[in-house]
Amino acid sequence: MKLLNYINGQLQEPVKGQWLDNIEPATGKVYSQIPASTADDLAQAVAAAGAAFPAWAATGAAERSTIMLRIADLIEQHQERLAQAESQDNGKPISLARVMDIPRAAANMRFFATAILHQSTETHYNEGHSLNYTLRQPIGVVGCISPWNLPLYLFTWKIAPALAAGNTVIAKPSEITPLTAFLFSELCIEAGLPAGVLNIVHGRGTEIGQAIIEHPKIKAISFTGGTATGKTIAATAAPMFKKLSLELGGKNPNIIFADCNWEEMLSTTVRSSFSNQGQICLCGSRIIIERSVYERFKTDFVARVKQLRIGDPSTDVNVGAVVSAGHLDKIMGYINSARQQGANILSGGTRVFLDGRCAEGYFIEPTIIDGLSADCNLNQEEIFGPVVTLIPFDTEEEAIAIANGTQYGLAATLWTQDLTRTHRIAEKLESGIVWVNCWLVRDLRTPFGGVKSSGVGREGGWEALKFFTEAKNVCVKL
């Protein structure tokens, strides 16, 4: 199977005729090819997006909304096909793609398609002097670059506000998981999205991704991915004065107090640790536990995690394959490093070799580690796999210090029934998001993003629509 670029409303092969292999993580085998796009493909995409911009911006929010809602309907009509594609391309359990990834992709389109109908802008009445009103106008051609962990979910999360606000878009999905973005381009054609409004170019991050960042006519970049890549992007785009939204890595603390609702905490912590093989930027990878319940937690958590079924993601399992051979090596490297440092591997710790179709797939047992200091590499660096560490604490201050003691600050989870403690700690956590007695409960209106090395800017709700528009103040003398 060959996937194609979507440029100026057409599906087309890469100009230079070069292709990349696309591997199915569950089997380790190549199952499709994607364009290895270059600056030539980008030139066509930018020309198409530039030509489409004036009409799309002038179309009006209602018409843009109608087309985007049609795309959302089509995602739902093709839900099963898209879920199968996502599972095959990424290695995630099909059940997760069915209940999370694909419904959320439709929800993203619908949310911003309707949000734009309710957007209002500010006025400032300067008594006796002037009336100021603020226009929020689309920027022009913008770039959206998304990662491999939640492919269609994050792809649509970026392009939906950009399109709703009236921009035209150059989008690049991860070369590791390109399939659902390709299927999405077919749905855009079916929905009647005007040519050039959305252009999807496939290929390597270092080649076509970097070309997008460098292109002078692409005025804003919304990126989700690794912190190291974010740094490169910022170094290129900032001196060009591009607007930048960076959603980067995390090393999220999950703080557990003895007074929490034990059962809810336990079942949610299993999910927040190992959903999507731990490859969600919001996963709680450092579990910080009050010492009085540390042993109890260890026993109960290990018992619960041992019940997780690992296997062929196209079947009824809880844990599928990690995304690539390179990523498998990275994760196993951290587990081996923990062993060398004398840590206790309480559960998992090894690569899993399955029989049959998945014999060469990239499977790792859900792994729980303790006995490491809070400042060692496993507790400081983003592993982004099915690996969590346990750290005991004695006082609230110590818990906060450990939680804040990394370069990251994306999300934190807090388990306690004590209301005053909740507010006290939530205020002190260096984190863009704090979940109290829950995890991954999303409301698309809320600001989403991180502090410190977890990123710059916020996505979600009005924040995203503000990012994808330029504010212009008009001052009229009274």
Query: Which segment (15-23, 133-141, 218-226, 341-349) binds ligand TXE by CB under 6 A?
Result: 218-226
Residue appearing with tokens 């939640």: 150
| 3-state SS class at 447 | coil
**Residue 379 interacting with ligand TXE (CB under 6 A):** no
Among residues 28, 50, 194, 226, the one that binds ligand TXE under rule CB under 6 A? 226
d(CA 310, CA 315) in angstroms, rounded, equals: 10
Rounded (to 5) percent helix, strand, coil in the chain? 45, 25, 35
According to the binding rule CB under 6 A, does residue 237 interact with ligand TXE? no
Question: What is the rounded distance in angstroms from the CA atom of residue 113 to the CA atom of residue 166?
Answer: 11
What are the C-alpha distances in Å from 247 to residues 109, 203, 269, 388?
19, 20, 23, 22
Least separation, in Å, of the C-beta of 148 and ligand TXE?
A: 6
The single residue listed with the structure tokens 């002078």 is 216
The residue count for binding ligand TXE (CB under 6 A) is 26
Question: Catalytic: 247?
Answer: yes
By CB under 6 A, name the one of 10, 59, 114, 232 that touches ligand TXE. 232
Closest approach of Cβ 12 to ligand TXE, in Å? 20
Q: Cβ distance 167 to 245 under 8 Å?
A: no
CB of 84 to ligand TXE, least distance (A): 22
Beta bridge partners of 459: 448
With 0-12 / 13-18 / 19 or more C-beta atoms within 10 angstroms meaning exposed / middle / buried, residue 70 is: middle
Task: Report if residue 459 touches ligand TXE, rule: CB under 6 A.
Answer: no
Which residue has its beta carbon closest to ligand TXE? 205
Residue from the set 18, 210, 314, 344 that interacts with ligand TXE by CB under 6 A: 210
Cβ at position 376, least distance to ligand TXE in Å: 17
Query: CA quadruple 56, 121, 467, 99: dihedral positive or negative?
Result: negative
On whether the CB atoms of residues 407 and 453 are closer than 8 A, the answer is: yes
Compare residues 384 and 393 and give the one whose CB is closer to ligand TXE: 384
213 binds ligand TXE (CB under 6 A): yes
Report residue 333 as tokens.
């490297």
- Residue 209 near ligand TXE by CB under 6 A: yes
Q: Is 384 in the site for ligand TXE (CB under 6 A)?
A: yes
Give the active site residue among 144, 188, 260, 281. Answer: 281
Taking the least distance from each CB to ligand TXE, the nearer of 196 and 209 is 209
Task: Map the footprint of ligand TXE across residues 246-285, applying CB under 6 A.
Answer: 247-249, 281
**Residue among 311 and 457 whose Cβ is closer to ligand TXE:** 457
SS3 5: strand
Residues 292-311 that bind ligand TXE (CB under 6 A): none
Window 134 to 163, contacts with ligand TXE (CB under 6 A): 145-149
**CB 323 to ligand TXE: min, Å:** 8
Among 101, 312, 382, 459, binds ligand TXE (CB under 6 A): 382
Residue keyed to tokens 């609230």: 396
Residue 49: name the closest of 132, 140, 148, 115 by CA: 140
Q: What are phi and psi of 47, to 5 degrees?
A: -65, -45
Kindly state the tokens that stand for 308. Answer: 């997780």
Query: Annotated catalytic, 80?
Result: no
Signed CA dihedral, 228, 336, 250, 468: sign only = positive
Residue of 24, 175, 247, 382 with catalytic role: 247
| Spatial separation of the C-alpha atoms in residues 164 and 62, rounded to whole Å | 9
Residues taking part in catalysis: 247, 281
Q: Which residues contact ligand TXE by CB under 6 A?
A: 145-149, 172, 174-175, 205-206, 209-210, 213, 224-226, 229, 232-233, 247-249, 281, 330, 382, 384
